[in-house]
């Protein structure tokens, strides 16, 4: 069965600082991977998805970027964080029966 | 663009009772999939139930069942014999058949279960 690791679990960063959130998966190969953000009191918004190494699709214009350096690694980055980047970030992978399996998430607070 | 609407920001139910959460969606596609996810206080997203649009039969998973009305673009979740552990945020989600598995989520319904 698949496992998703997200690191770190919690992060507090000042405005203007860089960001790197990591997602690694186990138990599958060549997965479709996704980054979602959940702002307070709102649903999940798809930020990026990747169908393979080096392949990134952006869903919304924003202050963030994503990379997929390895088959089972998906990284979310920013050069300069904004207050509006605060939220709960979830990594997910596509599994059988068309649904997505989610990782435990990273809570990001930008001060 | 596809949209998913959950019109009930909050719902409450007595333990052992039944509750129905509403979801409507907007799409021009005929091949799609619908899901209900549960997010407990731990914030881990857990799949509750799925429905393929081409199936007329409503999906059922133990105490959870859906009422899928394709023409009305409605996809409600019924929780029977509610338990304290059912308390969570519930999200309805839509996936277009040819969309690289991308999901569009509603804003969620917070379910409280009263003992």
Mean pLDDT of chain B: 94
8 A C-beta contact, residue B21 and residue B76: yes
DSSP 8-state assignment for residue B99: S
| Secondary-structure percent of chain B, ordered helix, strand, coil, rounded to 5 | 5, 50, 45
Whether B107 and chain A come into contact, CB under 8 Å, resolves to yes
**Res. A2 pLDDT band, cuts 50 70 90:** confident
Q: What is the pLDDT of residues A49-66, one digit of tens each?
A: 999 999 999 887 678 999
Using CA atoms, how far apart are residues B95 and B51, in angstroms rounded to an integer?
Answer: 10
Nearest chain B Cα distance for residue A81, angstroms: 23
Question: Does residue A34 register a pLDDT over 70?
Answer: yes
- DSSP bridge pairs for B90: B38, B109
Q: Report which of residues A99 and A55 the model is more confident about.
A: A55
User: Which range (A10-14, A75-79, B103-107) has the least confidence?
Assistant: B103-107
Q: Residue A67's closest CA among A58, A78, A75, A59?
A: A75
**Res. A97 pLDDT band, cuts 50 70 90:** low
Q: Residue A102's closest CA among B22, B48, B108?
A: B48
What the block records as the tokens of A48 is 């990026």
User: Which range (A87-101, B12-26, B47-61) has the least confidence?
Assistant: A87-101
Q: Which of B49, B66, B102, B104 to mutate to test the interface with A (most CBs of A within 10 A)?
A: B102
Q: Residue B64's closest CA among B44, B43, B87, B81?
A: B81
Question: Does residue B100 register a pLDDT over 80?
Answer: no
**Res. B15 pLDDT band, cuts 50 70 90:** very high
Mean pLDDT of chain A: 92
8 A C-beta contact, residue A107 and residue A9: yes
What the block records as the tokens of B109 is 């319904």
8 A C-beta contact, residue A66 and residue A77: yes
Nearest chain B Cα distance for residue A98, angstroms: 7
Question: Does residue A98 register a pLDDT over 90?
Answer: no
Rg of chain B, C-alpha, whole Å: 14
Check residue B99 and give its pLDDT. Answer: 63
Q: Report which of residues A1 and B85 the model is more confident about.
A: B85
Q: Which residues of B touch A88 (CB under 8 A)?
A: 43
Question: Does residue B2 register a pLDDT over 90?
Answer: no
Question: Does residue A101 register a pLDDT over 80?
Answer: yes
Residue B61 half-sphere exposure toward CB, CA atoms < 13 A: 10
Check residue B34 and give its pLDDT. Answer: 95
Q: What is the pLDDT of residues B44-87, one digit of tens each?
A: 999 999 999 999 899 999 999 999 999 999 999 999 999 999 99
Nearest chain B Cα distance for residue A107, angstroms: 10
């Amino acid at each position: 069965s698949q496992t998703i690791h997200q690191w770190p679990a919690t992060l507090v960063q000042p405005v203007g600082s860089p960001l790197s959130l990591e997602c690694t998966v186990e138990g599958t190969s060549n997965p479709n991977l996704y980054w979602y953000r959940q702002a307070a009191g709102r649903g999940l918004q798809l930020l990026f998805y990747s169908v393979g190494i080096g392949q990134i699709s952006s869903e919304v214009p924003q202050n963030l970027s994503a990379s997929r350096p390895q088959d089972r690694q998906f990284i979310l980055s920013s050069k300069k964080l904004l207050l509006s980047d605060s939220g709960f970030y979830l990594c997910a992978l596509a599994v059988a029966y068309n649904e997505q399996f989610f990782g435990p998430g990273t809570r990001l607070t930008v001060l | 663009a596809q949209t998913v609407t959950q019109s009930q920001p909050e719902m409450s139910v007595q333990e052992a009772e039944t509750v129905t959460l509403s979801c409507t969606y907007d799409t021009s596609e005929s091949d799609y999939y619908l899901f209900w996810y549960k997010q407990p206080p731990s914030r881990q997203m857990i799949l509750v139930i799925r429905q393929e649009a081409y199936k007329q039969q409503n999906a059922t998973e133990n105490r959870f069942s859906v009422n899928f009305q394709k023409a009305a673009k409605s996809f409600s979740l019924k929780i029977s014999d509610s338990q304290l552990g059912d308390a969570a945020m519930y999200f309805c989600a839509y996936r277009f058949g040819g969309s690289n598995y991308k999901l569009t989520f509603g804003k969620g319904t917070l379910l409280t279960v009263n003992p």
